[in-house]
């Protein structure tokens, strides 16, 4: 029976969850991996802080360098978060040739390419299943389960906080600010919620999935991001009447080069995170509350769906344990990394600028209720080469201005933005206009 020691760096929610789960299921891991995994260090910032789990005193310290450099430490778990000290921790362990398990999506999004190169240079593993979608084993799916597929598209609901807020807005008829405040009070949203509601958390995850799926590094500045702050109760209500639900949707789509102004030799993808109208009949529309889901189409397998808890100490700890087990198996098999953390396999990959993307759109305007209003709006759209698929002027709204909903045929995002700016300046338009992408998953 081989014995391997794991140093846990971080005593927060995730660190506590991993410590508890590893101790509780140590016998199960022995049976399944043939290796006894034990914790030899727990590194925390404050030893006196009250935690939901009581660490063994002999394991606890505040010196992460000593824990990593300990010759008895075989595997390092970086569970502190952030992109500064965490980066140094990961680099230190990799330079010593020690495998690292991390749940840090922000770190990998910002520095993943260099960290993966460092891991390869030192023959060390870098495992990060917990960085995307919590308990859903989506990293393993892309690197192993679907390794023989060209991935045509990946659509995901990757942020549980946003999905929870949108679900409650739909079910209760509440406004964004009120639902967010209540979610913060109940612990479903952080006090500083911008990382979630502005789409940045989902962006970090989306970049990792896009890089793995398409074999070239997708950096954060290549990903179009919009959060959910501007989604109103009115938008959710109108979307529902039109047969849609609004979700914060991550999209990674391989594009055809037909008709593109870009080189036909390039592997082109569109990568975005933004509020999107999706048909109520689609399976992703049924994903509610804090759950995550990823919907993938491969050229061999066809369509597959992955669903589960995307955050929380249990889901994240489960993914970290999976990586620790993989690291252990790699370690005992002559210390080789069976599956490299990231493999570059496309030399001509390109992320298409958001402005060049063709999509359907929902447009909501607040307009003067008088003759000639529609003519002015349709004139701008016609001059921009934008076609309207349907127009809805909801009944029951009284006053000098009323809402007007236009569903737009496929149009370039740049043309839509230009037209919307022109329409917003019309004297018949009474408040800021809004457009939201529509996705039919063709």
Angle at 151 between CA 160 and CA 227, to 5 degrees: 30
* Terminal-residue alpha carbon distance, the chain: 52
Average pLDDT over residues 70-74: 96
Greater confidence, 334 or 9? 9
Give 334's pLDDT tier (boundaries 50, 70, 90).
Answer: low
Give 338's pLDDT tier (boundaries 50, 70, 90).
Answer: confident
Average pLDDT over residues 183-191: 82
Average pLDDT over residues 273-277: 98
- The correct answer on CATH 3.40.30.10 for the domain covering 2-135+313-332 is no
Could you read off the pLDDT of 101-151 as tens digits, one per residue?
999 999 999 999 999 999 999 999 999 999 999 889 999 999 999 999 999
Average pLDDT over residues 238-247: 96
> What per-residue string of b and e applies to 221-244 under the rule 16 or more CB within 10 Å gives b?
ebbbbbbbeebebbbbebbeebeb
Q: Is the pLDDT of residue 265 over 60?
A: no
pLDDT of residue 398: 66
Angle at 65 between CA 139 and CA 323, to 5 degrees: 20
Greater confidence, 255 or 87? 87
Residue 162 half-sphere exposure, CB side, CA atoms within 13 Å?
Answer: 31
Percent of the chain having pLDDT more than 70? 96
Percent of the chain having pLDDT more than 90? 76
CATH homologous superfamily of domain 357-438?
Answer: ACT domain (3.30.70.260)
Whole-angstrom CA distances from 10 to 59, 116, 286, 380, 427 are: 12, 22, 35, 56, 57
Look at the chain and count its residues: 442
CATH homologous superfamily of domain 141-310?
Answer: Dihydrodipicolinate Reductase; domain 2 (3.30.360.10)
Beta bridge partners of 207: none
Give 394's pLDDT tier (boundaries 50, 70, 90).
Answer: confident
pLDDT of residue 260: 45
Among 76, 78, 66, residue whose Cα is nearest residue 97: 76
Give 396's pLDDT tier (boundaries 50, 70, 90).
Answer: low
Could you read off the pLDDT of 297-315 as tens digits, one per residue?
999 999 999 999 988 888 9
pLDDT of residue 369: 84
Q: Kindly report the average pLDDT of the chain as a whole number.
A: 91
Structure tokens at 203: 């962006």
The residue from 98, 105, 205, 434 that is catalytic is 205
Give 259's pLDDT tier (boundaries 50, 70, 90).
Answer: very low
- Backbone torsions φ then ψ of 43, nearest 5 degrees: -100, 125
Say whether 205 is catalytic: yes
pLDDT of residue 255: 85
pLDDT of residue 267: 84
pLDDT of residue 262: 47
- Backbone torsions φ then ψ of 261, nearest 5 degrees: -85, 0
pLDDT of residue 258: 41
- Rounded to whole angstroms, the Cα distance separating 5 from 72 reads 7
Q: To the nearest 10°, the Cα dihedral for 185, 189, 192, 195? A: -170
Domains of the chain by residue range? 2-135+313-332, 141-310, 357-438
């Amino acid at each position: 029976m081989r014995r391997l020691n794991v140093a846990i760096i971080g005593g927060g929610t995730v660190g506590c969850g991993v410590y508890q789960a590893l101790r509780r299921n140590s016998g199960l891991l022995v049976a399944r991996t043939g290796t006894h995994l034990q914790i030899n260090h727990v590194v925390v910032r404050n030893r006196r802080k009250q935690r939901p789990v009581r660490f063994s005193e002999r394991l606890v310290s505040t010196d992460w360098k000593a824990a990593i450099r300990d010759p008895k430490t075989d595997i390092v778990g970086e569970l502190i978060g952030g992109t500064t000290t965490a980066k140094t921790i990961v680099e230190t362990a990799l330079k010593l040739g020690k495998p690292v398990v991390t749940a840090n999506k922000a770190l990998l999004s910002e520095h993943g390419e260099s960290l993966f190169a460092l891991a390869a240079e030192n023959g060390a593993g870098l495992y990060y299943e917990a960085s995307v979608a919590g308990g859903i084993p989506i990293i393993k799916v892309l690197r192993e389960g679907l390794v023989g597929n060209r991935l045509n598209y990946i659509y995901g609901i990757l942020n549980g906080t946003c999905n929870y807020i949108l679900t409650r807005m739909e079910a209760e008829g509440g406004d964004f600010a009120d639902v967010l405040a209540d979610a913060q009070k109940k612990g479903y949203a952080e006090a500083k919620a911008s990382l979630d509601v502005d789409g940045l958390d989902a962006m970090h995850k989306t970049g990792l999935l896009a890089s793995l799926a398409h074999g070239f590094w997708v950096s954060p500045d290549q990903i179009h991001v919009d959060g959910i702050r501007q989604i109103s109760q009115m938008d959710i209500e109108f979307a529902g009447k039109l047969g849609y639900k609004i979700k914060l949707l991550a999209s990674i789509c391989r594009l055809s080069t037909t008709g593109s102004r870009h080189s036909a030799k390039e592997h082109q993808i569109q990568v975005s995170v933004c509020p999107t109208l999706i048909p109520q009949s689609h399976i992703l529309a049924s994903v509610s509350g804090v759950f995550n889901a990823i919907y993938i189409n491969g050229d061999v397998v066809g369509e597959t769906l992955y669903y589960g808890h995307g955050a929380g100490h249990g889901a994240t700890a489960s993914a970290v344990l999976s990586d620790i087990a993989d690291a252990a198996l790699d370690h005992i098999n002559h210390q080789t990394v069976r599956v490299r953390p990231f493999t570059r396999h496309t030399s001509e990959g390109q992320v298409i600028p958001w402005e060049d993307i063709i999509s359907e759109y929902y447009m909501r305007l607040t307009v003067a209720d008088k003759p000639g209003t529609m003519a002015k709006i349709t004139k701008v759209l016609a001059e921009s080469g934008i076609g309207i698929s349907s127009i809805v002027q909801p009944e029951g709204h009284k006053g000098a201005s009323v809402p007007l909903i236009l569903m737009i045929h496929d149009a370039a995002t740049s043309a839509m933005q230009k037209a919307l700016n022109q329409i917003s300046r019309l004297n018949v338009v009474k408040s800021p206009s809004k457009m939201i992408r529509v996705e039919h998953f063709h």
